[in-house]
Amino acid sequence: MNSLRTSSVGRKGKLIALLAGLVLVSSIANLAFGAVSIPPGEVVAALLGWGRGTTAAIVLYARLPRLCGCLLAGAALACSGVIIQGVLNNPLAAPNVIGVNSGAGLATALCCALAPGSVGLTPVAAFFGALAGVLLVLFISERAGAARITLVLAGVAMSSIFSAGIDAVVTFCPDALAGYTDFRIGGVKNLSMARLAPAFWVILIALLLALSLSNELDLLLLGRETAQSLGLPAKWLRLVLLMLAAALAGAAVSFAGLLGFVGLLTPHILRRAVGEESFFLLLSSALGGGLLLTVCDLASRLIFAPFELPLGVVLSLTGGPFFIWLLLKQRRGSSV
């Protein structure tokens, strides 16, 4: 038994190392290619402080913040999806599906309208908006019925309400969200390290706390009643984990806008490789989410170069068909 456990851990460790290597390669490619191609050697030199001139400026001040935004948003949204799917025991749940992203977006819009220039407050406001979204959807779905599709429908309804709220804020305060179209679609253009810094700390702390609670999340996967019978305070633990999921999604929305499908695609793909164990699934999803956004961002710059597609468009074209396939799969499973 121990040898099988050791073999499984070793296999998962190799997969995580492979993902880390792919993230490194995709990151160098993301910094090197675009409207202006830069040799990888010059990219590394710029990162080490040896570069000079226009090339170093492009790498350090235009592409590096964009890359960091991809890695942070991808890790945060993917891990938020893992937690939400585990706590709600629903594979269709994801931050963009159940209204978490749009709740964070509404709170971000209100924060920008009421306190313009307060960059440090946006992740906090986005957290409360995301938490309100997930708790409202959870309340509605539990009152309406426990069916998985009920949660999705409640999330769609709340997303529409929150989106209408964002439109209302922008209508009354047109300057509240600079680049509103980019925010609504989702993307990582025009970022700076200063803007990323508050969200970075929120994501780091929330991810570390989620990893520390991975064993408890595994017990919740057995069901609320089973977890309580083992002495776990299931009700409070669910609330804490949903707060962490809201913090992760809200921090990502505060600088990357309403990106969709990362929290749905990444956990489903990696769950097939690493299994249901939450610790490894969270780690691999953090890397996989960053990899997904980095590759999609690079594709958005290269497919129609020198024109650039918004990152959110590439993600929707990728994730939309996957979500339809998942719905059809769930439907077939429930009819058997």
Residue 336's pLDDT is 36
CATH code assigned at 262: 1.10.3470.10
Range of the domain at 151: 2-335
- In terms of pLDDT, which residue wins out, 267 or 157? 267
Q: What is the mean pLDDT of the chain?
A: 83
Q: What is the pTM of this model?
A: 0.87
Residue 313's pLDDT is 86
Residue 268's pLDDT is 86
pLDDT band, very low/low/confident/very high, at 203 (cuts 50, 70, 90)? very high
Q: Which pLDDT tens digit goes with each residue over 155-190?
A: 778 888 888 888 888 888 877 666 666 777 888 888
Q: Tell me the average pLDDT across 241-256.
A: 89
Residue 148's pLDDT is 63
Per the structure, how many domains does the chain have? 1
Residue 18's pLDDT is 93
H-type helices in the chain, by residue range? 2-32, 40-47, 53-57, 64-88, 100-114, 122-144, 148-172, 180-185, 193-212, 214-220, 224-229, 234-256, 262-274, 278-302, 311-335
Which range, 4-8, 67-71, 251-255, is most confident? 67-71
